[in-house]
Amino acid sequence: MPNVAIILSGCGVYDGTEINEAVLTLLELERNGINYQTFAPDMLQAHTINHAKGEATQETRNVLVESNRITRSETGALEDLDVSKFDALVFVGGFGAAKNLSNFAFDQPHYQAIPQVNEVIQTFHSQNKWIVALCIAPVLLAASLPNIKVTIGNDQEIASLLESKGHTHVECKTDNFVVDVTNQLITTPAYMTGQSIKEVHEGIQATIQHLGTKIS
């Protein structure tokens, strides 16, 4: 049975992992007969947002600890991810990808993925293993790999930034996905364009089904 590593970035759309995207991804992996293990970096979040008010607070939270809120305490430290045990890699969206797994939210256009994330992307890629990225997470792939084809939906500002770095951006609707066959990447917009959990589910469902055809 195929085995997939999933990278989370905290708990909550504004400062961590987009929870709906995470749960839908886990559900679709299970429905497609794919084993998975979740991982997150053991580090402090860039900041903490009060999700009721959309305002920053003075709280300090840990990305790994927060990620375990989503997975019922099943998420391991990213440093313990053994690439040889997995057939593919999945990045879930949420602003944590842009704030904790990279500094995309704070340092455009000169952003970078954090070293742990950069290393895991390059290692999976060098071993010709498929990588999936949802929502804003394709920016992580664009930070770590050259000349790739991805989608973040239809955001022209981000698309232009990615294209300025030599990548190809493809506009994509919520219920669809984009495949870079050469680099073995699958990306889908999720909540970058989605207005409902039903729409987002359709895109994630199609994406994971396609991944299953590549690793089964």
pLDDT of residue 120: 98
pLDDT of residue 60: 96
Contact 92, 6 (CB under 8 A): yes
pTM for the full predicted model: 0.98
User: What is the enclosing helix (H) or strand (E) of 204?
Assistant: helix 197-215
Mean pLDDT, to the nearest integer, of 139-160? 98
Reported as a pLDDT band with limits 50, 70 and 90, residue 19 is very high
Mean pLDDT, to the nearest integer, of 25-39? 98
* CA–CA gap between residue 16 and residue 172 (Å, rounded): 24
Catalytic annotation, pick one of 101, 135, 140, 141:
135
Angle, nearest 10°, between helix axes 197-215 and 19-31? Answer: 40
User: What is the enclosing helix (H) or strand (E) of 66?
Assistant: helix 63-70
Beta bridge partners of 44: 62
Torsional class of 190: left (φ above 0), alpha (ψ -120 to 50), beta (otherwise): left
Question: Can 11 be counted among the known catalytic residues?
Answer: no
Mean pLDDT, to the nearest integer, of 164-193? 98
DSSP state of 113: B
Mean pLDDT, to the nearest integer, of 124-139? 98
Q: Which residue has the tokens 């970035």?
A: 9
Mean pLDDT, to the nearest integer, of 11-16? 98
Mean pLDDT, to the nearest integer, of 31-48? 98
* Other CB atoms within 10 A of residue 30 CB: 12
Q: Are strands 49-50 and 149-150 parallel, antiparallel or unpaired?
A: unpaired
Establish whether the linkage from the previous residue to 189 is cis, with ω within 30° of 0.
no
* CA–CA gap between residue 96 and residue 50 (Å, rounded): 14
User: What is the enclosing helix (H) or strand (E) of 132?
Assistant: strand 130-134
In the chain the domains, ranked by start, together with CATH numbers, are 3-215 (3.40.50.880)
Mean pLDDT, to the nearest integer, of 27-51? 98
Tens digit of each residue's pLDDT (9 = 90 or more) over 181-196: 999 999 999 999 999 9
* CA–CA gap between residue 178 and residue 212 (Å, rounded): 15
The phi, psi pair for 214, rounded to 5°, reads: -90, -25
pLDDT of residue 109: 92
Angle, nearest 10°, between helix axes 63-70 and 19-31? Answer: 60
Radius of gyration of the chain (CA): 16
Closest CA to 125 of 147, 103, 109: 147
pLDDT of residue 111: 97
In percent, the amount of the chain with pLDDT more than 70 equals: 100
pLDDT of residue 166: 97
